[in-house]
Structure 1
Amino acid sequence: MTDGTDGPADRARTRRPKLGRWLAGGAVATLATVLGLTLALRSGAAPACAAPPRAAAPVAAALLAPPAAGTLNKGKSTFYDSKGEGGNCSYPSAPADRLYVALGPSEYAGGAGCGGYLDVTGPKGKVRVMIMDQCPECAPGHIDLSREAFARIADPVQGIVNVSYRLVVDPPLAGPLSFRIKEGASQYWFAVLVAGHGNPLRAVEVRQGSSGGWRTATRESYNYWLIDSGAGPGPYQIRVTDTRGHRVTATGIRMAPGQVQRSTVRMYGGTSGGTTTTSRSPSASPKPRASATGSPTPSVSTTPSAETATPAAPTSDPAALPPVPVAATSPGCGT
């Protein structure tokens, strides 16, 4: 540069010696620290406690739970189209009447609300919809209806409207329970989808044949109930308990991955073609989504066993997932 001012190259050159001296000085300091710690440890002295890393701001542990039974919630609604698919709840297809809803992550609650029903009221009226999907971007109180359901409560041109909604208790059932063993399942890995239950489910238990102990399945976020170590080759008894305390047992469910197997057991309100093992007297109930046709009909347990006759304690609210865990903080010095 002709004006005497250092250019980028000149500034770089003047920095390098300083950088080298800084690195050299840092290396000496680091070496001295290491040697000092080594000598202190050898002499039996405890090193000084370093300041713990800065912890992230505490996050309130929020419960994930579907809408509480009978509780009126107020919020807003938009609409979408599932293109006929069964959503995050893994149903083979959308309900035949196409009246369904997607909930935000907090109310979807890892699949805990799947198969339940909401009564939604908007500017034009009320509609009953099945919980079928998750809306990842929806905040608490924001529900995403099917286009057909939205048209029942508001003019679609509005796009978004204020609504109120509540979870239906014991909605009328369209038929008995159906079961679908997941593709890839075997006697060593068991996963089943239960449909037609009306109220959200609280528990699914499985046992091989008609003897042996019941094995508790774990609900996955995609709504299949999983036993990771398998449940044997089948056929199975499957005991289903909902959040209202209704409990029934279906038998003869085969290891037939990908097939919808219709039982003759209703979750409540009586059975078609058999005696149900319900543990309490429920009211009439929901219209679950239709299953694929052409599936074999499993047999039904007609005589309640001591296990199936034992009442399940009803709950006032749908089963909720445990609180979202907060990341553990690093242990303090000396702990």
Structure 2
Amino acid sequence: MTDGSAPTGPDSSPSTEPDPQVRSGRGRRRAAVRTGRWLAGGGLVALAAFTGLVLAVRTGAEPACAAAPARNAPAAAAPRALAAPPLGGTVHQGKATFYDSQGAGGNCSRPAAPTNRLYVALGPGEYAEGAACGGFLDVTGPKGTVRVLVMDQCPECEPGHLDLSAEAFARIADPVKGVVPVSYRAVVNPPLPGPLTFRMKEGASQWWFAVLVGEHGNPLRSVEVRQGGNWRGATRQDYNYWLIDSGAGPGPYAIRVTDVYGHRATATGIRMAPGQVQRSAVRMYGGATPAASRSATPTRSPSASPSASASAAPTAPPSTTVSPLTSSTDRRQVVDAAVAPPTPALVRTGCGH
């Protein structure tokens, strides 16, 4: 079944593959670096060996042979670092390159790139199968510091390699350089642009629950749905949706969200409305939104289907509660998004150029 198709009964569930724009984004990135990775990964060695063989045949010389590995010698395995997002404000050293998502929301499944176009893609080790999604990093380069949203994965980036948006890169370095050394740290409790949002995935139903949580500031640790008087945990996918394969009933739902620093918020009245962005009245930390500013009408995302929009009739806004919160340790304002980059944005064809 293709992704986004609505299941027809309790035994049917849609694919857990990411949205098409996520797949195509990864495909573009992989295709763009295929040649470079072939050369870096042994293609040059193979080419050199073939050239030497041809020359040997032409001159009649005996071709040189590479030493064969011992048959019984075990292959040396490089130690693999545990995957985890940057947390806690620890300063890391690394390098930065840049790319352009062409307005797409990246592997974290956002409906679109942030309006200020300040975002970053992390390598698999720091992307950590989606655990880094929605967090923020402060990145410092030769020209200054920029705050970026973790929105995407860079499959070929090693730990410490940040693939910034072209606009973010231009804030900290001359784009002509292409690659620059940087330091970076996670932002703890960044100022939130708005209350929590919830988006049910296309194809979700009472038999297959899949929700995307937005505007949470810090990376999330867990998402739970109240069912039958108990809280039932959802499983995070690497494309940032939280799934309960057997479903959570028809809704409306109470959804409890906890971030990596222990902030917890609960929203109720979240409906099964695939493709609709439902804005709650609660922030992950810092208090609830005043009642006067609550919106009763969900926002339709660009990828929402016509059938989904039909279920978006105005209803009472979701009610919300917030657990006791710890004090914020970082209230620095987001870098001014109105400053234009010094040169036109450049479109990257892959990481690590």
TM tier, smaller: 0.5 to 0.7
Distance 2:144 2:174 in 1: 11
Q: Which structure 2 residues correspond to residues 112-123 of structure 1 after superposition, within 5 A? A: 112-123=131-142
2:246 is paired with a residue of what secondary structure?
Answer: coil
User: How far apart are the structure 1 equivalents of 2:317 and 2:124?
Assistant: 35
Q: Give the corresponding residue for 2:93.
A: 74
2:285 is the alignment partner of 1:261? no
Residue 83 of structure 2 aligns to which amino acid in structure 1? Answer: L
Query: 1:205–1:59: structure 2 CA closer, same or farther, 3 Å change rule?
Result: same
1:138 pairs with 2:157 = yes
Q: CA deviation at 1:233?
A: 0.4
- Deviations along 1:74-124, one digit per CA (max 9) or x if unpaired, are 110000000000000000000010000000110000000000000000000
* C-alpha distance in structure 2 between counterparts of 1:229 and 1:58, whole Å: 39
Question: SS in structure 2 opposite 1:88?
Answer: coil
Q: What CA deviation, in whole Å up to 9, does each residue of 1:160-219 have, x standing for no partner?
A: 1010000000000011000000011111110100000000000000124xx511110010
Specify the SS of the correspondent of 1:114. Answer: coil
Name the count of aligned residue pairs. Answer: 238
The match for 2:239 is: 222
Give me the whole-angstrom Cα distance separating, in 1, the residues matched to 2:171 and 2:77. 43
Match for 1:204 among 195, 213, 223? Answer: 223
Distance 1:125 1:63 in 2: 30
Which residue does 2:268 correspond to in 1? 251
Matched position secondary structure for 1:110: helix
**How much does 1:54 deviate?**
7.9
Instruction: Tell me which moved more, 59-68 or 175-184.
Output: 59-68
Aligned residue in 2 for 1:11: none
- Deviation, 1:137, is 1.0
Q: Does 1:301 align with 2:320?
A: yes
Shift of 1:62: 2.4
| Equivalent residue number for residue 90 of structure 1 | 109
Output the CA distance in 2 between the equivalents of 1:151 and 1:63. 31
Identity score, percent: 70
Higher alpha-carbon Rg? 1
Distance 2:301 2:111 in 1: 7
In structure 2, relative to structure 1, the CA distance for the partners of 1:191 and 1:165 (3 Å cut) is same
Residues 120-176 of structure 1: CA deviation (Å, up to 9, x unaligned): 000000000000000111111100000000010011111110100000000000110
What is the CA–CA distance in structure 2 between the aligned matches of 1:122 and 1:62, rounded to whole Å? Answer: 25
Q: Tell me, what secondary structure is at the counterpart of 2:176?
A: helix
Secondary structure of the structure 2 residue equivalent to 1:299: coil
Query: Partners in 2 of 1:164 and 1:291 — Cα distance?
Result: 38
Coordinate RMSD, CA, aligned:
2.3
Question: What aligned pairs does 1:17-166 form with structure 2 within 5 A after superposition?
Answer: 57-58=76-77, 60-166=79-185
Amino acid at match of 1:265: V
SS of match in other structure, 1:214: strand
Distance 2:320 2:110 in 1: 25
In structure 1, which of residues 273, 282, 286 is the aligned counterpart of residue 290 of structure 2?
273
SS class of match (1:106):
helix
Conserved? CA contact 2:97–2:162, under 8 Å:
yes
Mapped contact 2:275–2:301 kept (Cα < 8 A): no
Q: 2:203 aligns with which of 178, 184, 190?
A: 184
Aligned to 1:239: 256
- TM (normalized to structure 2)? 0.64
Query: Shift in Å at residue 58 of structure 1?
Result: 4.6
Superimposed CA distance per residue, residues 43-73 of structure 1 (whole angstroms, 9 cap, x where no aligned partner): xxxxxxxxxx986545535210011321000
TM-score, normalising length from structure 1? 0.67
- Give 1:97's aligned amino acid: N
Secondary structure at the counterpart of residue 318 of structure 2:
coil
Separation of aligned partners in 1, 2:118 and 2:204: 31
Letter in 1 for 2:240: N
